[in-house]
Amino acid sequence: MTNIPSDRRYSKDHEWVLSLGRNEARIGITDHAQRQLGDIVFVEQPRVGDRFDAAEPFGSVESVKAVSEIFMPVGGTVSTINDTLGDDPETLNTDPYGDGWIVQVGLTDSKELDELLSAEQYEDYIGEKAR
């Protein structure tokens, strides 16, 4: 069963966004995404200060199965990257909603969060895709 915390929002590209307040948000990939990818061996991340629009690719995840782009679920400027993923990319497999976060961004428009899926909507979405 896929883990989908209710305290964040989700994109149809399988990224999650956790609002940290102060127009800041943390972003990662979902448990569903990491399960589909398999064992993750490398994470390509942007640099602090890079700016992205919603739906724009901002990095990639390489697994034993494939290389997949990661898409920015909301517009913003990267304020922090998770440096530990360079040495420990498998953290995305073991703790995708905790220590496996990828970037933190200053949001361009916090209202974009409302356009993303709730946990319940995301669960329905991945359930429909599985059929």
Q: Could you tell me the domains of the chain? A: 9-109 (2.40.50.100)
Distance CA 112, CA 104 (A): 15
Tokens 């609002």 found at: 19
* Closest CA relative to residue 74, chosen from 49, 104, 118: 104
Q: Are the C-beta atoms of residues 113 and 19 closer than 8 Å to each other?
A: yes
| pLDDT at position 1 | 54
Structure tokens at 13: 């590209």
Instruction: Summarize pLDDT for 9-65 with one digit per residue, the tens.
Output: 999 999 999 999 999 999 999 999 999 999 999 999 999 999 999 999 999 999 998
In this structure, what DSSP letter does residue 7 have? T
Distance CA 16, CA 63 (A): 19
Q: How many CA atoms lie within 13 A of 45 on its CB side?
A: 26
Instruction: Summarize pLDDT for 9-20 with one digit per residue, the tens.
Output: 999 999 999 999
